[in-house]
Structure 1
Amino acid sequence: MAALPVEEVRSRVEADFDRIVNVLNKKIALQSISAKGITADHMKRSAEFVAEELSKVGVNAQVVQSHNPDGTPGAWEVIGSKFVNADAPTVLLYAHHDVQPVPDATAWNTDPFVGTVIDTRLYGRGAADDGGGIAIHSGALQALGDDLKVNIKVFIEGEEEMGSPSFIPFIEEHKDEFDSDVIIVADSGNWSAEIPSLTTSLRGNTDIDVHVKALHHPVHSGQYGGPILDANTLAAMLIASMYDEHGDLAVPGVASEEPVGGLQRDMDETTVRADAGIVGSYRLAGTGSLAARLWTKPSVTVIGFDAHPVEGSFNVISPETTFRLSLRTAPNQRPEEAQEALAAFMVEHAPFGAEVWVDKLDNGMGWAMDPNAEATKDAMEAMEEAFGVAPVNKGEGGSIPFIPELQRIFPKAQVLVTGPEDPKANAHSPNESISLPSLKNNVITEALLLDKLAK
């Protein structure tokens, strides 16, 4: 089978690009915020829109409601297929149609639910995460048309931003609709708008609540302060004990890894500082490559802390407190193992004999790509042809727990994580946007990749 010429694919995408952007604009306007109710009518409308758009590019798509593990109604999902040849490989295309909330629209420079082009970027909630993924799939299938040489299955999820509680039951109930040779997850991003990337790894995630108690009741800070430290201070000491003098996490049993497949290019500190809005005086914590610190080494964040607000505070020693730790684990470590190690460390390092106990919360496994898989080589080749520059692969510090679950359920499938984002995308934040030139190249990449996978 002769491969489609790159310029032919590019020409087809160029001719279709206004439609692709229009799909994205309509998707932004739907305000498909799953936090407002995954079973709600607005989420069903979003799923119906996606199914309709996929049907226009040849996919037999339908909307199906999932069920949570307890049997209650779950998210509105879109599944579909396009069959071309019994002997051809099957590729599953994934994206999600739900988006993050907009807590404060005044923090945006544009209306978050009206797609707005400024320079070369399209702004709007969900423009990148993950309306961009839906647009890529739509554009690639339209570009290939009757030249498509692989069988396609599609899953567009409706609750990714809510942690995918019904994901596993849904997959288990619809295994035939998901069984495939290659899975393309379009929910990540590129090195930059100009340089493409495969995502090589994702950190896992585990959470614990830590309770610290020094007193049975509050006491006056003037009368008892000194020998008795307040619970918040004891908690701060406990949190600080997790780190060595360099700022590296030093909890025995919590694993650390180097970038999967080797480090092609380290992250640029100046860019990271600018993108994250780091104050000038702050020195980055930890040792080793910045890439490893962001992608494959573990990190802990205090994401919640029970303490009296400054407003209305008074002279009392707080008797007890609770804080929540979110641990991002190395891609290949079981999160339960890391959770157990972190919980044990908290109890063992109780400052001054304070009472410390831990509630263990949710776990999500990390994931690492197979850098030697045939599909990986095809993807990198397609990226270079589409973008005109060699890809620079990268990890992600965040977690997408359903990817390792997909790999577990379909162990023979090769998983590729691609996506529409770049460092300026501001996914989950105000002024979310997508680079339109990059979107076009991402569509070309996926079309070329699907063509290569036919062999």
Structure 2
Amino acid sequence: MSLDDLRQRVQDVLPGIRRDLEDLVRIQSVSADPARAGEVERSAEAVRALFAAEGFESRIARAEAGAAPAVIAHRAGPEGAPTVLLYAHHDVQPENDHADWDSPPWEPTERDGRLYGRGAADDKAGIVAHLAAIRALGDDLAVGVTMFVEGEEEVGSDSLPALLAQEKDSLAADVIVIADSGNWDIGVPALTTSLRGLIRVDVEVRTLTHAVHSGMWGGLVPDSLMTLARLIASLHDDEGSVAIAGLHQGPADDVEYPEERLRAESGAVPGIRWIGSGPVVERLWTKPALSITGLDAPQVFGASNTLVPSARARISLRIAPGDTTANAVTCLRRHLEEHIAWGAELTITVVDTGEATAIDAEGPAYDVARDAFTEAWDGVRPVDMGVGGSIPFIAEFVDAFPNASVLVTGVEDPDTRAHGANEGLHLAEFERVCLAETLLLANLASIRP
């Protein structure tokens, strides 16, 4: 089939795909909210039905009783054809304060070329992008396809390793396409080839057994807040680079990130200066980054004039591809223990971890993918992009299926606002995503398993 034929097929199926996406967005499948567990179940069943209608053998799967429902669906290809595993997730983030949204979060609404709603991009659009390619190819689909649509990605995919082990035979594939990332810009596609890992640690500092008068004891007894502040300050050097010895860092692909775009997308106030050193994309993708994402301490309003006996901070440490969470925990713990001042008591609690991922994106499947993206974006070659955030489940797939080619892509763009208010899907880019995946599935038939 020619590019024009496939483009027309995608255009023909898009109205129905849009309706399916809007129906999914209306389901409040917030996996973090126990009160909406029924909605997560309803979402899984809706996804299962969509693929059953396309001739897939489809079922609900879960690793254990009480785990969130995943959908596994399979359609066999011709004898000797490769099998492609298509991943997305049907659970979504909480919508939080409805007042922050310009339209109701659970009612898909189009404005200025975007479709707004919780999950409209992350990641229900990933589900229907897979569906669009399957519908567009119809009986001409010349590869085996397995759908795997997870139901707990937004809460850390805790049962995913067990589910992958349980379903290893049914999920085995030659190529894995993970639709949970994004593109470099409107009009510029991307393949995600690296993601940072994550460790989160709660650090508690105690200097007193109880609060005491600041006038009576100030100047002799250190309070916990000043001690914690001193400890936090030790985690960066004067440039703002992470000062924890032993963490890995590496080079990034040579991708230009213009200053104007950087400031617009980051939301930085006008006078802010960037921290760290080296190329921007290295600081964002392939070097460690550390943030304090929470503090437990008395509020300013109503604070008494006493020395605070204990204070606690949550440290979020992004680790570079090539590092491990075990090494990062060891290095962070050693740094904190060496830099705690004045003999204060220090308690360190690991909250959670997620491994970094680096993908060697070379070989026939990646060549086919890059050609498909280039055609869908009218001659624009895809960027090999890093992601500073963490998607730990990708490392799980790489480990579970070491011989598969793993392609990480998605529907998001720099203004998608996934996880925030006014999450939106750029509809013109979504059409290109659907065309690219249709071309990919059509041309992967030439890859021999």
| TM-score of the two chains, using structure 2 as the length reference | 0.96
CA–CA distance in 2 between the matches of 1:320 and 1:308? 10
Q: Which residue number in structure 2 is paired with residue 403 of structure 1? A: 394
Counterpart AA for 2:139: D
CA–CA distance in 2 between the matches of 1:78 and 1:357? 41
Percent identity, aligned pairs only, is: 42
Alpha-carbon shift at residue 162 of structure 1 (Å): 0.7
CA contact (8 A) 1:212 1:321 kept: yes
CA–CA distance in 2 between the matches of 1:286 and 1:347? 24
Counterpart AA for 1:451: A
Q: Which residue number in structure 2 is paired with residue 222 of structure 1? A: 215
* Pick aligned residue for 1:278 from 243, 268, 276: 268
CA–CA distance in 1 between the matches of 2:67 and 2:241? 40
CA–CA distance in 1 between the matches of 2:263 and 2:214? 40
CA contact (8 A) 1:185 1:415 kept: yes
Trace 1:249-268 onto structure 2 (pairs within 5 A).
Answer: 249-259=242-252, 262-263=253-254, 265-268=255-258
CA–CA distance in 2 between the matches of 1:133 and 1:347? 44
CA–CA distance in 1 between the matches of 2:54 and 2:413? 26
Is 2:190 aligned against 1:193? no
365-374 or 429-438: bigger deviation:
365-374
Q: Which residue number in structure 2 is paired with residue 208 of structure 1? A: 201
Alpha-carbon shift at residue 445 of structure 1 (Å): 0.4
Q: Which residue number in structure 2 is paired with residue 342 of structure 1? A: 332
Question: Which string of whole-angstrom CA distances, capped at 9 and with x for unpartnered residues, describes residues 160-208 of structure 1?
Answer: 0010111111111111111111110000000112110001111111121
SS of corresponding position for 1:184: strand
* Pick aligned residue for 1:98 from 76, 91, 100: 91
Alpha-carbon shift at residue 38 of structure 1 (Å): 9.0
Alpha-carbon shift at residue 56 of structure 1 (Å): 2.6
Is 2:19 aligned against 1:35? no
* Pick aligned residue for 1:269 from 259, 263, 271: 259
Q: Which residue number in structure 2 is paired with residue 424 of structure 1? A: 415
CA–CA distance in 2 between the matches of 1:374 and 1:242? 43
Alpha-carbon shift at residue 30 of structure 1 (Å): 0.7
CA–CA distance in 2 between the matches of 1:210 and 1:216? 17
SS of corresponding position for 2:373: helix
* Pick aligned residue for 1:54 from 37, 51, 56: 51
CA–CA distance in 1 between the matches of 2:176 and 2:26? 28
List, as ranges, runs of 4+ consecutive aligned residues in structure 1 with deviation greater than 6 Å: none
Q: Which residue number in structure 1 is paired with residue 435 of structure 2? A: 444
CA contact (8 A) 1:66 1:77 kept: no
Counterpart AA for 2:270: G
Q: Which residue number in structure 2 is paired with residue 300 of structure 1? A: 290
CA–CA distance in 1 between the matches of 2:35 and 2:327? 31
| TM-score of the two chains, using structure 1 as the length reference | 0.95
Counterpart AA for 1:36: D
CA contact (8 A) 1:93 1:152 kept: yes
CA–CA distance in 1 between the matches of 2:126 and 2:263? 27
Counterpart AA for 2:396: E
Alpha-carbon shift at residue 9 of structure 1 (Å): 1.0
CA–CA distance in 1 between the matches of 2:43 and 2:144? 25
Counterpart AA for 1:96: H
Is 2:129 aligned against 1:125? no
Q: Which residue number in structure 2 is paired with residue 179 of structure 1? A: 172
Q: Which residue number in structure 1 is paired with residue 66 of structure 2? A: 73
CA–CA distance in 2 between the matches of 1:281 and 1:330? 28
Is 2:426 aligned against 1:435? yes
CA contact (8 A) 2:197 2:318 kept: yes
Question: Which string of whole-angstrom CA distances, capped at 9 and with x for unpartnered residues, describes residues 219-251 of structure 1?
Answer: 111222223332112111111111111111121
Aligned pairs, how many?
445
Q: Which residue number in structure 2 is paired with residue 19 of structure 1? A: 16
Q: Which residue number in structure 2 is paired with residue 325 of structure 1? A: 315
CA–CA distance in 1 between the matches of 2:282 and 2:364? 25
Alpha-carbon shift at residue 120 of structure 1 (Å): 0.9
5+ residue gaps, structure 1: none
39-48 or 376-385: bigger deviation:
39-48
SS of corresponding position for 2:204: strand
Question: Which string of whole-angstrom CA distances, capped at 9 and with x for unpartnered residues, describes residues 321-375 of structure 1?
Answer: 1211111110121111111100110011112332223223322111111122322
366-375 or 341-350: bigger deviation:
366-375
Counterpart AA for 1:303: T
C-alpha RMSD of matched pairs (Å): 1.4
CA–CA distance in 1 between the matches of 2:256 and 2:217? 51
CA–CA distance in 2 between the matches of 1:453 and 1:339? 41
5+ residue gaps, structure 2: none
Alpha-carbon shift at residue 311 of structure 1 (Å): 2.2
CA contact (8 A) 1:266 1:289 kept: no
* Pick aligned residue for 1:146 from 115, 139, 142: 139
48-57 or 441-450: bigger deviation:
48-57
Is 2:346 aligned against 1:356? yes
CA–CA distance in 2 between the matches of 1:142 and 1:89? 19
Alpha-carbon shift at residue 380 of structure 1 (Å): 1.1
